[in-house]
Amino acid sequence: MTPLPPLPEGPGLLFVLAGPAGSGKTTLCDELLAVAPRTRRVVTCTSRAPRPGERDGVDYHFLTVEAFEQALAAGEFFEHARVHNNLYGSRTRDLHALLAQNLDILFNIDVQGAANLRATAARDPALAPRLVTIFLYPPPLEELRLRLRSRGQDAEGEIERRLRTAVAEIAHWPDFDYLLPAGSREDDQRRLLAIYLAERLHRRPGLVPPTPWPVNP
């Protein structure tokens, strides 16, 4: 997809894409990052082991459980959650480094992490109007099961546990600003891009048109 043309300047937004494992969040995030030049992803910390091809500092910050818990005790995380027996969290310093540059921030997190992020932003008047939450509603159960199996990363018992988690997560879709029903990869990409453009063009404090005009022509 062709990169987007210049958009109005303004404060960076926080886009949260959440949904069950296997719903396609990571692929959609990668595709949006490729076409939206001012968008960046916060690299999440996790206590789980890297999967084949994943790189430390690029896909995740891979921490030991001990190191993660030490950072948590030190108050380093903007949001955190335990998911599938692993710890995940976004560091406050990484978030503010991007916001200082007026960049849009893209979070690829689970439903629990999204709830924590929403609660944190609600307590901060500077962040609350910037938050945009999107729920990627997964395909039917059997299709999602096939997706998880095709990745070849988890044992059958782990797949079934993830599906049970998905059932619980789906119940929270009304908590989000947008509902994005999973379809084809191309359809999902177009819908996510439409949401991004609508929010970037929405009138907010600090929005600046790309071409200035004189006040008194």
Q: What is the pLDDT of residue 152?
A: 66
Q: Name the band, by pLDDT with cuts 50, 70 and 90, for residue 217.
A: low
**Residue spans of alpha helices (H) in the chain:** 25-35, 65-73, 92-99, 111-122, 141-151, 156-170, 185-201
Domain membership of residue 173 (yes or no) is yes
Question: Would residue 2 count as lying in a domain?
Answer: no
Q: How many domains does the chain have?
A: 1
Is 68 a member of any domain? Answer: yes
Q: Is residue 193 part of a domain?
A: yes
Q: What is the pLDDT of residue 155?
A: 76
Looking at the predicted structure, is the pLDDT value of residue 206 above 70?
A: yes
For residue 40, give its domain range: 14-201
pTM of the model: 0.80
Cα separation, 38 vs 191, in Å, equals 19
CATH classification of the domain holding 60: 3.40.50.300
Task: Identify whether 6 is part of a domain.
Answer: no
In a domain, 97, yes or no: yes
